[in-house]
């Protein structure tokens, strides 16, 4: 059964529950999960009270209470019907990672704030994934009110455990016909990003760009009712989350068994940053930085590097932007939102060579591969460009980049498709990896001469 049909079934079953005799104990449990009066609720904004919602609320929270012990230490997904509709086992999407679904169909951020302690914090989660706010908008709440509740939720999560990773998913696109216009969703997501700005404990995942069409609305092919994702939509959400979970050490904890070619030279040993470093900011780079930052109204951070720094033997750069994790060189999501940084090999390349590597990007992530100092864009190409028409690109999965350098020209392919036929590069220089927005991972980085 498609998951959007499952959601409809949940609503119907809530509206027309099966009649049965309840024991006194069952009645007591149900009463314990009644929705309190507004005066007893924290936060602000709407709290739903329709009969169907009260039934779903009580049934779900009774289920949560029953499996509280077995869900200890899980990765908790906290949300509304979109989260609930992923089923309690997530369809096997995250095999090997303990998960707990704490979604309640129809819930608002005020309801989630109220049930945060019992449904989430009492599990002492390994991490929390949050998707919330769409129902508030339907009920007429302003983005500022919704963001205020989310701010309170984030504060309680951080107070519970200052080291626990928090993944804040941007609100999915929907439709004006669902009382969820694109302009309000975009504003709410902007406020979410502001809440997380500068906080390394929170990773904001750009799920709005992942799903929105050119008008900023949901696509029927992924959201048949323009609100709830179908199997295709859930698969894209899963693919967007997997790289984040891998970087947090929740999945993919062992390097892949790939062996490089006998005539290849590895540029990354898989377990630390030996052979890589920061290069002192040149006068030309300072000029570029000074021109770029004002145009972004200060939304981009671009720190200066005063002198060359080598990271031999270190697993991560001091700022945590570049990290070696289980065979992957990860350019992590910057808490500032956008942050320009560049990591270079300590070796330079002045002869012909072929660079081969694989990369994986979160939605709309932006990075680049420097070829003797000149940048070749390396991104989530379908969403961030510039090579948006690639047929073989695998969003949220690994993609192979092959760069063949002869003289001052580089021939570049992604999964076998030509992205640059004759890319001009300097005579000599290092190979580098840029960080901008989102997360990019690299692996199997090697050179054949």
DSSP for 166-227 reads EEEEPPPP--GGGT--HHHHHHHHHHHHHHHTT-TTEEEE-HHHHH--TTSS--TTT-TTSS
Q: Which pLDDT value is given to residue 285?
A: 85
Whether the CB-CB separation of 349 and 410 falls below 8 Å is answered with no
- Residue span(s) of the chain under CATH 2.60.120.560 come to 264-448
Q: Order the strands of the 366-371 sheet from edge to edge.
A: 309-310, 276-278, 341-345, 431-437, 366-371, 374-379
For 376-391, what is each residue's pLDDT tens digit? 999 999 999 999 999 9
Both structure tokens of 305 = 């590097």
Q: Is 340 helix (H, G, I), strand (E, B) or coil?
A: coil
- Residue span(s) of the chain under CATH 3.40.50.1110 come to 3-247
Instruction: Write the class of the CATH domain 3-247.
Output: alpha beta
| pTM greater than the 0.85 cutoff | yes
Q: What is the pLDDT along the chain (449 residues), one digit of tens a residue?
A: 444 444 444 443 443 343 344 444 444 445 679 999 999 999 999 999 999 999 999 999 999 999 999 999 999 999 999 999 999 999 999 999 999 999 999 999 999 999 999 999 999 999 999 999 999 999 999 999 999 999 999 999 999 999 999 999 999 999 999 999 999 999 999 999 999 999 999 999 999 999 999 999 999 999 999 999 999 999 999 999 999 999 999 999 999 999 999 999 999 999 999 999 999 998 888 888 888 888 887 788 999 999 999 999 999 999 999 999 999 999 999 999 999 999 999 999 999 999 999 999 999 999 999 999 999 999 999 999 999 999 999 999 999 999 999 999 999 999 999 999 999 999 999 999 999 999 999 999 999 98
Q: Count Cβ atoms below 10 Å from residue 447 Cβ, excluding itself.
A: 20
CA angle 227/231/233 to nearest 5° reads 50
CA-closest candidate to residue 239, choices 1, 398, 102: 398
Q: Which residues contact 319 (CB under 8 A, 6 or more apart)?
A: 341
In sequence order, what E strands does 263-336 have? Answer: 264-266, 276-278, 309-310, 322-325, 328-331
Query: What is the architecture of the domain spanning 264-448?
Result: Sandwich (2.60)
243-258 residues labelled b (16+ CB within 10 A) or e (exposed): bbbbbeebbbeeeeee
Both structure tokens of 436 = 């901008």
Both structure tokens of 125 = 């989660």
Whether the CB-CB separation of 437 and 365 falls below 8 Å is answered with yes
Q: Count Cβ atoms below 10 Å from residue 81 Cβ, excluding itself.
A: 23
What DSSP designation does 94 have? Answer: T
């Amino acid at each position: 059964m498609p998951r959007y049909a499952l959601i409809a079934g949940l609503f119907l079953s809530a509206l027309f529950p099966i009649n049965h005799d309840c024991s006194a104990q069952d009645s007591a449990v149900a009463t314990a999960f009644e929705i309190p009066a507004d005066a007893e609720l924290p936060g602000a904004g709407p709290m739903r009270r329709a009969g169907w919602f009260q039934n779903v609320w009580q049934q779900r929270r009774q289920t949560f209470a029953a499996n509280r012990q077995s869900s200890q230490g899980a990765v908790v997904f906290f949300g509304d019907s979109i989260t609930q509709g992923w089923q309690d086992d997530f369809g096997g999407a995250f095999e090997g990672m303990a998960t707990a679904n704490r979604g309640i169909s129809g819930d608002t951020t005020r309801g989630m704030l109220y049930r945060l302690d019992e449904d989430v914090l009492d599990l002492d989660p390994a991490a929390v994934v949050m998707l919330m706010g769409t129902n508030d908008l339907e009920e007429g709440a302003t983005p500022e009110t919704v963001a205020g509740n989310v701010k309170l939720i984030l504060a309680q999560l951080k107070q519970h455990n200052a080291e626990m990773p928090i993944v804040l998913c941007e609100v999915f696109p929907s439709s004006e016909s669902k009382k969820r216009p694109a302009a309000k969703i975009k504003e709410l997501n902007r406020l979410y990003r502001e809440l997380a700005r500068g906080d390394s404990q929170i990773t904001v995942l750009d799920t709005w760009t992942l799903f929105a069409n050119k008008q900023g609305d949901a696509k029927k092919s992924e959201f048949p009712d323009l609100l709830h994702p179908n199997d295709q939509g859930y698969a894209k959400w899963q693919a967007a989350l997997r790289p984040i979970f891998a970087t947090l050490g929740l999945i993919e904890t062992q390097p892949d068994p790939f062996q490089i070619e006998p005539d290849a030279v590895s540029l990354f040993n898989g377990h630390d940053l030996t052979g890589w470093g920061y290069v002192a900011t040149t006068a030309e780079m300072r000029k570029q930085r000074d021109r770029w930052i004002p145009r972004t109204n200060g939304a981009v951070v671009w720190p200066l590097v005063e002198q060359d720094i080598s990271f031999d033997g270190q697993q991560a750069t001091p700022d945590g932007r570049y990290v070696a994790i289980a065979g992957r060189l990860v350019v992590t999501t910057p808490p500032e939102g956008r942050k320009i940084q560049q990591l270079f090999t300590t070796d330079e390349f002045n002869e012909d060579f072929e660079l081969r590597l694989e990369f994986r990007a979160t939605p709309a992530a932006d990075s680049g591969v420097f070829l003797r100092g000149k940048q070749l864009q390396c991104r989530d190409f379908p969403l961030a460009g510039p090579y948006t028409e690639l047929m073989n690109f695998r969003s949220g999965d690994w993609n192979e980049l092959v760069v063949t350098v002869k003289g001052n020209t580089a021939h570049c392919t992604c999964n076998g498709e030509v992205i640059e036929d004759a890319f001009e590069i300097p005579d000599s220089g290092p190979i580098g990896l840029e960080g901008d927005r989102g997360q990019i991972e690299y692996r199997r980085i090697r050179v054949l001469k």
